[in-house]
Chain A
Amino acid sequence: MAKRPAHLAVPYDDLGQQMEAATLGMWTFLATEVLFFGGLFTAFIVYRYAYAEAFVQAGRRTLILYGTINTAVLLTSSLTMSLAGYAVRKDDLKWLLRFLLATVFLGTCFLGIKGLEYYHDWQEHLIPGRHFPSALPVQGQIFWFLYWLLTGVHAAHLAVGIGLVVVIAWMAAHRRYSSSYYSPVQISGLYWHFVDLLWLWLYALIYLINRH
């Protein structure tokens, strides 16, 4: 009987089976995330339908330039995360670390740009409550409530993703991964791409469909 690889955990027959189990586990978690965000999306759709005109007037006040730049930043971070997954398969540990750090950098840029955007929104009093601009319809507050909630929860997910990739990068720097053991890199990548994918829908719902 062949010797078991060092990274093969007890219940699994081979690394392929172990990798698939990890993938299924992550997708199970992501399915709960789909439904978590799905509830918020449902609320957005229902109110967008009910108060279409108010959503357009309020939605025009979003800063589409920040949103668009942030989408590009996040899509690029998904590319660097994917390339990290390739580098580890090729035992290229130097580029693995570089791509992981690039991903962390781009994720942090996203949060920085988002913070700048939040600052401008704050300056304009685009917050549900007493100081909400009186020029905007009352139901516009629902739009801005969902704006802060959706983008805030997304930013929290991205912050978790950054922490995750920092840990993976730290482990990579300590040569914990190689072409024979790389599932943590791939599995973290799934989470990272998922947060990116969510943003694509937020971008469409918040910045694009409420302008005309």
Chain B
Amino acid sequence: MTALPAPLVRPRVYVLVWLALLLLLALNWGLAQLNLGPSNLIAALAIAFVQMMLALLFFMHVRYSTSLTRVFVAAGFIWLLVLFDLTLSDYLTRGSVAGRYDKSWEHGAWPANQSVPPAR
């Protein structure tokens, strides 16, 4: 027998993590009621990230896992970042590159209520 079959986490830890998650939920809901401009988006995503990490580390036992398990956990998320990176490096830079491009993808190029331009 090399390793324990699985970590035995005390119920106290689970309850504390649950309370932290609910507190962050209340904070997230509260912040959404205020108009903070672009900070709304940053705050909501940052809080969701912290909540995700709490769930991963404690509920899903990543904190207590072997290195091999952690590599498997990280793999999915790393490929997700590659997906985001390659996709957004296109959409976010359209208009910054010389040459012909579709202006309709520029940020704010389509104000609300403007109808969709015809397909070319």
Which A residues fall within an 8 A CB radius of B? 14-20, 23-24, 27-28, 30-35, 38-39, 42, 45-46, 49-54, 57, 64, 68, 71-72, 75-76, 78-79, 81-83, 86, 89, 137-140, 182-183, 186, 189-190, 193-194, 196-197, 200-201, 203-204, 207-209, 211-212
Q: How far is the CB of A97 from chain B (nearest CB, A)?
A: 16
The answer on a CB contact under 8 Å between A27 and B72 is yes
Closest residue on chain B to residue A140 by CB atoms? B112
Q: How far is the CB of A145 from chain B (nearest CB, A)?
A: 14
Q: A20-B68, A35-B76, A211-B40 are in contact. List 17 more A-B contacts (CB 8 A).
A: A16-B4, A31-B72, A31-B75, A32-B76, A38-B80, A38-B84, A42-B83, A51-B112, A54-B110, A54-B113, A76-B18, A79-B18, A82-B14, A197-B52, A204-B44, A208-B44, A209-B40
Of B40, B56, B75, B111, which one neighbours A212 at CB under 8 angstroms?
B40
In whole angstroms, what is the CA distance A172 to B80 when docked?
Answer: 36
**Which B1-60 residues have a C-beta within 8 angstroms of A?**
1-6, 8-11, 14-15, 18, 21-22, 25, 28-29, 31-32, 35-37, 40-41, 44-45, 47-48, 51-52, 55-56, 58-60
The answer on a CB contact under 8 Å between A203 and B48 is yes
The answer on a CB contact under 8 Å between A204 and B79 is no
Q: How far is the CB of B68 from chain A (nearest CB, A)?
A: 7
Q: Which residues from chain B contact A64 at a C-beta distance below 8 Å?
A: 29, 32
Q: Which residues from chain B contact A38 at a C-beta distance below 8 Å?
A: 79-80, 83-84
The answer on a CB contact under 8 Å between A190 and B45 is no
The answer on a CB contact under 8 Å between A42 and B8 is no
Which B residues fall within an 8 A CB radius of A? 1-6, 8-11, 14-15, 18, 21-22, 25, 28-29, 31-32, 35-37, 40-41, 44-45, 47-48, 51-52, 55-56, 58-61, 65-66, 68-69, 72-73, 75-77, 79-80, 83-84, 87-88, 91-92, 104-105, 107-116
In whole angstroms, what is the CA distance A83 to B14 when docked?
Answer: 7
**For chains A and B in complex, what number of residue pairs have CB atoms within 8 angstroms?**
168
Q: How far is the CB of B109 from chain A (nearest CB, A)?
A: 8
Of the listed residues B44, B60, B79, the one surrounded by the most CB atoms of chain A closer than 10 A to its CB is B60
The answer on a CB contact under 8 Å between B5 and A15 is yes
- 22 residue pairs from A and B, CB less than 8 Å apart: A14-B2, A18-B5, A20-B3, A20-B66, A24-B69, A31-B72, A34-B77, A35-B83, A45-B84, A46-B91, A50-B109, A68-B29, A79-B15, A79-B18, A137-B112, A138-B113, A138-B116, A186-B6, A186-B61, A208-B44, A212-B36, A212-B40
In whole angstroms, what is the CA distance A34 to B10 when docked?
Answer: 28
